[in-house]
């Protein structure tokens, strides 16, 4: 492998893949996760995010470096990922969505996954077509690119109708609690900002809404990481609409499928991550 800093982006590590996440492919099995980390440890050296950042800024990244980053703050991190990482001496980063951890708003894409499971997505699609033009049969990408508060309201109305109150309340166990986050921070994990509720940075939202989303997330994250400097872009989408303003506030982190080098850092001022594959051949995805 070429020298550089390779940041691998994961989500959840768990044996269970519930209906809320099964359709959005965010769960890696613990045994596969360990196998991937062991393969990486034979190819290069693991560093924490602050360590890798310091090396970039000093102008010295002349070896293969690996780091782990977890998006969204799922409950499997403390129970499954943390012990495996600790056994290998790895200190990852996690980007939180404040409302998920605080249990005040469920991930809108998890709501869609549930509605698909109970064959209610057809009702969502029909309702969207009354309000928006050119809504396709498959709406996975369309909802990201056309995200708005009106779209979110439509999804939520159908989720409320088709999921019982008991199910909606129990669904939050998908995400880590605040004491889980505190434990991860105490063990050396870097806690970062993924926004309030994982809203895509669609142009329809506008900068005022985007900034409020990140400010809410930042206020929460700083309870665990007072010096946080990282804002992680949801869905690797839309940062081009707001990038200059975002970069005035924080270090922007994206999924860009590229290694970080001194050159890339000096040219862009951003950090890039690889989406970790859910199969065993993690190194093959990095070449």
pLDDT tens track, the chain, 287 positions: 899 999 999 999 999 999 999 888 899 999 999 999 999 999 999 999 999 999 999 999 999 999 999 999 999 999 999 999 999 999 999 999 999 999 999 999 999 999 999 999 999 999 999 999 899 999 989 999 999 999 999 999 999 999 999 999 999 999 999 999 999 999 999 999 999 999 999 998 999 999 999 999 999 999 999 999 999 999 988 899 999 999 999 999 999 889 999 999 999 999 999 999 877 788 877 76
Per-residue tokens: 70: 């977890």
Q: In whole angstroms, give the CA distance from residue 201 to residue 213.
A: 10
CA angle 234, 237, 242 (to 5 degrees): 90
143: tokens are 């909802």
Global pTM reads 0.95
- CA distances, 74 to each of 16, 150, 174, 181, 200 (Å): 12, 27, 6, 10, 19
- The gap from C-alpha 7 to its chain's centroid, in whole angstroms, comes to 13
Query: What is the per-residue burial (b if ≥16 Cβ within 10 Å, else e) of 234-249?
Result: bbbbbbebbbeebeee
Backbone angles phi, psi at 193, to 5 degrees: -105, 125
| 202-239 pLDDT tens trace | 998 999 999 999 999 999 999 999 999 999 999 988 89
Phi/psi of residue 88, nearest 5 degrees: -105, 5
Token digits of residue 282: 């993690």
Please name the residue ranges forming H helices in the chain: 30-43, 49-58, 76, 82-87, 98-102, 108-117, 121-131, 140-145, 149-162, 165-170, 178-186, 207-221, 239-249, 262-268
Residue 287's pLDDT is 65
């Amino acid at each position: 492998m070429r020298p550089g800093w390779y940041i691998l982006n994961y989500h959840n590590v768990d044996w269970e893949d519930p209906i809320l996440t099964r359709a959005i492919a965010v769960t890696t099995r613990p045994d596969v996760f360990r196998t991937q980390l062991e393969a990486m440890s034979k190819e290069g050296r693991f560093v924490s995010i602050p360590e890798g950042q310091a090396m970039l800024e000093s102008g010295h990244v002349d070896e293969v470096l690996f780091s782990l980053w977890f998006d969204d703050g799922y409950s499997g991190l403390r129970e499954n990922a943390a012990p495996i990482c600790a056994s290998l001496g790895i200190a990852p980063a996690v980007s939180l969505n404040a409302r998920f951890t605080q249990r005040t708003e469920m991930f809108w894409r998890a709501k869609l996954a549930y509605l698909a499971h109970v064959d209610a997505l057809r009702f969502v699609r029909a309702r969207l077509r009354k309000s928006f033009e050119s809504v396709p049969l498959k709406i996975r990408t369309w909802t990201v690119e056309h995200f708005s508060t009106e779209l979110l309201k439509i999804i939520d109305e159908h989720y409320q109708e088709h999921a019982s109150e008991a199910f909606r309340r129990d669904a939050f166990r998908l995400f880590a609690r605040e004491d889980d986050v505190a434990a991860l921070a105490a063990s050396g994990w870097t806690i970062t900002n993924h926004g309030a509720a994982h809203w895509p940075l669609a142009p329809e939202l506008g900068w005022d809404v985007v900034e409020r989303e990140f400010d809410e997330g930042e206020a929460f994250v700083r309870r665990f990481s007072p010096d946080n400097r990282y804002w992680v872009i949801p869905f690797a989408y839309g940062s081009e609409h707001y990038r200059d303003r975002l970069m005035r506030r924080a270090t922007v982190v994206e999924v860009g499928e590229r290694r970080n080098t001194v050159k890339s850092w000096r040219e862009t001022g951003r950090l890039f991550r690889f989406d970790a594959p859910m199969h065993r051949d993690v190194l093959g995805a990095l070449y």
